[in-house]
Amino acid sequence: MSTATVFDIHLAVGYVPWLLCFFVYILPWLKLMDRFEAHRAIATLHSFRFFGLVFLVPGVIGPNLPAGFASFAAYGDFATGLLAMAALLTARMRPLFWAFATAFNLVGIADILVDYYHGVQLGLGALAGELGATYAIPIIYVPILMITHVLALNWLARSVLAPSRANGVAAAL
């Protein structure tokens, strides 16, 4: 089996255990929380995306990893992580928290989608060995990031579209 085929299988199958785990354990747990606490938990997970800067470290990645992929992935993750941290730091200022929560989810999902696009355009599957120690990131870490972004954006969109309560706060979903 080619390196590209193994990488493609890993990318696709990496979502399966996370989706199973998410629907059995994580989503029911998040649904028990009020929306603010659930978004704060999601922001905490995404605050570790500063780790994406590892794509810029020689020796961790191979010398033939396309620079266009590595740079965009690294800085997109870093920006998302910083925005998630900003959301957490502004938790007591709810309007700022919600702005940063929306921002990190939009930036984060755009980063992942563009990384997938760049990966396909650059033939990353055939060069998967050049990911070196970062190989596990798109296989194991990215699926749960994407799943939680989709959930968070869904909840954020629904709260904006939901009718307001009498006290002016968006209705909880």
Per-residue tokens: 83: 């925005």
Q: Name the nearest CA neighbour of 135 among 70, 80, 47, 84.
A: 70
What is the predicted pLDDT for the residue at 162? 67
In the chain the first and final C-alpha atoms are separated, in Å, by 46
What is the predicted pLDDT for the residue at 164? 53
Backbone CA torsion sign across 128, 45, 87, 104: positive
Contact 54, 81 (CB under 8 A): no
What crossing angle do the helices spanning 35-46 and 94-121 adopt, rounded to 10°? 40
CA distance 45 to 21: 15
DSSP bridge partners of 61: 58
Q: Write phi, then psi, for 91 (nearest 5 degrees).
A: -55, -30
Count of Cβ atoms closer than 10 Å to residue 14 Cβ: 19
Residue at token pair 């929560």: 101
- What single-letter DSSP state applies at residue 66? -
Domains of the chain, residue spans? 3-161
- What single-letter DSSP state applies at residue 170? B
Contact 42, 85 (CB under 8 A): no
Contact 65, 54 (CB under 8 A): no
pLDDT in tens, the chain (173 residues): 999 999 999 999 999 999 999 999 999 999 999 999 999 999 999 999 999 999 999 999 999 999 889 999 999 999 999 999 999 999 999 999 999 999 999 999 999 999 999 999 999 999 999 999 999 999 999 999 999 999 999 999 988 776 554 444 444 44
